[in-house]
Amino acid sequence: MATSSSGVADLYTEIIEDIRIFFADAVLITNPQFLGGSFNIAGASGDTVRIPISNGYDNAVAVSEGASIRSAGTQNDFNPTNLTIALTKYGAYSDVNEEALEDGGLAVVRQNVVDRIAGGLAQAVDVAGFEALRDAGGNSTVNQDATDLGSGAANVTNIVMGGMSLYHASKREPSVRAWYDNDFDRHQFVGSTRQGFKVVYNGTDTGNNYGVRKLDDVRAIGSGTLTLNDFAKSVANLRENNHPAMASGFYPAFVAASTELNVASQLNSVTSGTIGDLSAIGNRALLTGLIGQAAGIEWYRSNNLPQPS
């Protein structure tokens, strides 16, 4: 009875419902606390989102009583520019033979299909978000706070960012279509989503004033060299350029496993490095990714960080 028409129909329904939840929990970079803004344009025409960016301003100057403010003061005309978020389509699929349903059962098949499709989509979107952060300013060497190791898969770029530095757009939430192929006696599940990211600058892009700091490290476990002081330098640079932190007051730092190994012992020795009330976070990505808080940073581990380019 496991492969009856009603049972298979229920399986389709469960997969479609569960895949969105799995996707949301598995994508670290799209969590709202890391984003300056997120735009859902489902149902609208076009495949881009244009973000208005305010220009910078100068401080006011002292003006004598009865004197002209326009003559003595500084000009602060509002002249916004814009940045464009382009959407990218991501897809993944999983085929299930009828024998797998007969022998494995609906529950096993359901979980494996959700893991494969939602997991594949989630990882691709996470990677795209981190790549956008790495490429802020046009290349990975802009705003580099540690040794530039050059390109190569043996290296990884860790990231510290401002709380308003990354914007996100979505047009298609993770969705699944399913059908039965009589020829192969096979059930086919195809999932897709459309997402995009863009790093914004703070008032003006003069001087590469992007709220993203980059710290390259060696990817191999035991070979990482970055220290807590390196990340403290990133925090100082973000503060120097008036990049706001998250609502928590911390800047998020995304680090690879090799870098985590180096800084973990230092974090454990810092009074403010204890992890807060995880029950209040309520998100699997954060529960598994959060390392601790120290030096003005909220630390997250990710295996989706890019290599220098």
Domain ranges of the chain: 5-55+80-301
pLDDT value of residue 273: 46
pLDDT bucket at 225, cuts 50 / 70 / 90 = confident
CA atoms of 200 and 161, how far apart (whole Å) = 11
- In this structure, the number of other CB atoms found within 10 A of the CB of residue 94 comes to 20
Q: What sign does the CA torsion over 287, 292, 293, 295 have?
A: negative
Tell me: the pLDDT tens digits for 143-201?
888 877 777 888 999 999 998 899 999 999 998 988 889 999 998 999 999 999 999 88
Residue 160, H or E segment: strand 155-161
Q: Is pLDDT at 75 greater than 70 in this prediction?
A: no
pLDDT value of residue 278: 41
Q: What is the pTM of this model?
A: 0.84
Tell me: the pLDDT tens digits for 129-141?
999 999 987 777 7
CA atoms of 179 and 252, how far apart (whole Å) = 42
Structure tokens at 250: 């911390």
Cβ atoms of 96 and 180 within 8 Å: the answer is: no
